Amino acid sequence: MSSPILWIVLPGAVSVLLLVIQRQRLVVYITGTVLALLLAGLAGFLPIGESVSIGTFSIPFADTLTVLGRRFVLDSNDRSTLLLIYLGLAFWLIGSWVAHASRIFVPLSLAVAGLLTAALAVEPFLYAAIILQIAVLVSIPLLSAPGKPTSRGAVRYLTYQTMGFPFILFTGWLIAGTDASVANREPLTLAYILLGLGFWLLLSIIPFHTWIPMIAEESHPYAVAFLLYELPLAVTLFGLGFIERYPWLRETAGLYTLLEIAGVMMILIAGILAAFQDHFGRMMGYVILVEIGLSLIAIRVGMPPGENERLLGLFFAILLPRALSLGVWALALVAFMRHSGEGDKAMAPSQQLKFRELRGSARRLPVATLSLVFAYFSLAGFPLLVGFPVRLAIWEETAKISMVIASGVLAGYIGLIIGGIRSVAVLVLSSDESPWKVSETRLESILLILGSLVLLVMGLLPQLFTPALAQMAEIFLRSSP
Amino acid sequence: MAQSNLQAAPPGQEDRAQPAALSAAQSHLSVWIFRIFAAAIVVVAAVSIAPTIDQWLPQLSEVQILGSVVLIGVGLLHLGLTSDPFWVILGLLTALSGFEIIYAGVEISALVQGLLASVTLGLGVIGAYLILSPTMEPVE
């Protein structure tokens, strides 16, 4: 028995089994959720790399699995990463029942989580790019569900991600012989360019971002939110691993400039475009683009890793607020979809979340409206909500680096806030003076209210979770060889 | 071949019946002339780039490099000219096969070659899925 078998092979095998029995929705849901919680719990307590004693039996629990000459390593330093992945997965799976996600959501999300774990465990870690590509292929049915028209956004997503990973692979070969010596700069310059292009595509940085708003409009909001949380997280962790591993990369001043430019461009353009959207799904897509930009800025603030390790914790500290906010937002959108267009059953899913269809919906769906407002403004960094403290810290540190960059970031968030105010106006204002009523189901209301309370309480008491998450930076850097 | 055996697009999805529109467009002479010229430009660019790449990759022969660069270029050109899932997958497979020719010459790991093969197969499976999914049973 070994840790890669437990955290990589087991989720993959169970996902295949659950795909076979996908019609037994309750069984699939319970099995997937329990497995995710179990794996998260084991990540916290199981002695990795030592023997596990059960009574008189002692079972060796190795931390390495060798496949075709290459190793997958999950040692005790990877606990925090495993917790991050599987607790996050459990969070998304728990809400999937209320979100009425498709019956393939649980199996495929388990498979994606297993593949992301494999990507972070493989050595040499450059091969993670191929495993991430396999995760992309597995995730396509989540975005372009059976029985619905083929999602153009999913096709574009597949195109950009497939174009990105060969750059990373080729860079790996190019720098394999130049780790120790930086005397020969030419291959390093080429590696730098190829690496930049690869991550530009994988992270969907402008102009390779168009697929995100498209799938947010066409696909199920919950599946979109799950995927757009997990995939950029895996890619940014992969990128951090590169920076930590190669001295020539983090000693390049151009890297910091690139991170600043890419980050501020994403935040500024996506934030301003979010203000002009008329579809709640597309709005979520643009906010996710802003989040990707914020991650890049947070990584820049934490550079170089050895000197600013404390500040790199800001990158990890934004993960929990992001997951909570996206989850609540997605649930609210699902509630809107399920309770809108009731007089017109033939409405296409991409039409159900348009502003004109949801005008005045606050009177019918007050809980979903309030939750959406909380989630949106939390991601926009509004005070008193969970997203504010960490974003304020990032803005402060960004201003110390460059006022121009900080101004661009702030302008992007002003665009987000304008979009939020427009959304509230659309949902609340209506010429129809119908009485207020709660149309959400009991389960929807409970989860949405609980989520909104968590967003508020954690915003008022950030000291409860921020230090623990920020410490992950130290653990992550220690686990990189 | 897969697409030629498929049923007609479901009602209300005529706007997505791009294969029919594509075959109609393909029969137009100007489309063919444009595509041939575009491919010729890609081939000329590949011929000019190949010697430079040959210097970076001495392990590969010039013919291998030329072939792979042509495949990558034509694949990318194809991706830029279509949004139909079937043709997009073909374009991706073409570009990927060009990359795999180069990468096979420099990377000897069996795991990587296996993973690349699985990516290629996976692209084919996903391509078939994307074509068939509108006619499949919903899973909501």
* Closest among A330, A349, A339 to A149, alpha carbons compared: A349
Q: Is the pLDDT confidence value at A240 over 90?
A: no
**Candidate from B16, B99, B125 with C-beta closest to A149:** B16
Q: Report the pLDDT value the prediction gives residue A396, as an integer from 0 to 100.
A: 93
Interchain proximity B136–A100, CB inside 8 Å: no
pLDDT per position as a tens digit, B118-137: 999 999 999 999 999 999 88
Tell me the average pLDDT of chain A. Answer: 88
Q: Best residue in A109, A152, A158, A171 to probe B by mutation, most B CBs within 10 Å?
A: A158
* Angle value at C-alpha A226, between B135 and A477, nearest 5 degrees: 140
Strands A70-73 and A64-67: antiparallel
Give the pLDDT mean for A179-189: 59
**Candidate from B99, B133, B140 with C-beta closest to A150:** B133
Residue A298 CB coordination number (10 Å): 27
Specify whether the CB–CB gap between A187 and B106 falls below 8 A. no
- Compute CA distances A2 → A34, A205, A429, B10, whole Å: 20, 37, 58, 49
Token code pair at residue A300:
């820049």
Q: Is the pLDDT confidence value at A311 over 50?
A: yes
Phi/psi of residue B107, each to 5°? -115, 125
How does DSSP assign A384-433, residue by residue? Answer: TSTTHHHHHHHHHHHHHH-HHHHHHHHHHHHHHHHHHHHHHHHHH--S--
d(C-alpha A428, C-alpha A430), whole Å = 6
Q: Report the pLDDT value the prediction gives residue A341, as an integer from 0 to 100.
A: 59
Q: Rounded to a whole number, what is the distance in Å from the CA of B75 to chain A's nearest CA?
A: 11
Location of structure tokens 């168009």:
A210
Q: Report the pLDDT value the prediction gives residue A291, as an integer from 0 to 100.
A: 96
3-class SS letters over A174-228: HHCCCCCCCCCHHHHHHHHHHHHHHHHHHCCCCCCCCHHHHHHHHCCHHHHHHHH
Give the pLDDT mean for A301-313: 76
Location of structure tokens 């360019």:
A193
Q: Report the pLDDT value the prediction gives residue A478, as an integer from 0 to 100.
A: 65
What is the maximum span of chain B, computed from C-alpha positions, in angstroms?
Answer: 55
pLDDT per position as a tens digit, A407-450: 999 999 999 999 999 999 999 987 777 788 888 889 999 999 99
Buried b (16+ CB within 10 A) or exposed e, A452-464: bebbeebbeebee
Specify whether the CB–CB gap between A145 and B82 falls below 8 A. no
Q: Report the pLDDT value the prediction gives residue B11, as an integer from 0 to 100.
A: 46
Q: Determine which of A113-127, A288-302, A336-350, B20-34 has the lowest per-residue pLDDT on average.
A: A336-350
Residues 6+ apart with CB under 8 A from A252: A192
Give the pLDDT mean for A301-306: 77
My answer on whether omega of the bond before A11 falls inside 30° of 0, hence cis, is no
Q: How many residues does chain A have?
A: 481
Q: Is the pLDDT confidence value at A2 over 80?
A: yes
- Compute CA distances A276 → A242, A279, A420, A422, B136, whole Å: 36, 9, 10, 9, 36
3-class SS letters over B114-138: HHHHHHHHHHHHHHHHHHHHHHCCC
Q: Report the pLDDT value the prediction gives residue A430, as an integer from 0 to 100.
A: 79
Give the pLDDT mean for B22-29: 66
pLDDT bin (cut points 50, 70, 90) of residue B47 is very high
Please report residues of A whose CB lies closer than 8 A to that of B122: 134, 137-138
Specify whether the CB–CB gap between A353 and A281 falls below 8 A. yes
Give the pLDDT mean for B99-113: 86
Please report residues of B whose CB lies closer than 8 A to that of A69: 109-111
Give the pLDDT mean for A453-481: 79
Q: Is the pLDDT confidence value at B22 over 70?
A: no
Q: How many residues does chain B have?
A: 140
Please report residues of A whose CB lies closer than 8 A to that of B77: none
Q: Is the pLDDT confidence value at A246 over 60?
A: yes
Give the pLDDT mean for A211-235: 94
Give the pLDDT mean for A322-333: 94
pLDDT bin (cut points 50, 70, 90) of residue A199 is very high
Token code pair at residue B27:
């029969």
Tell which wins on pLDDT, A304 or A324: A324
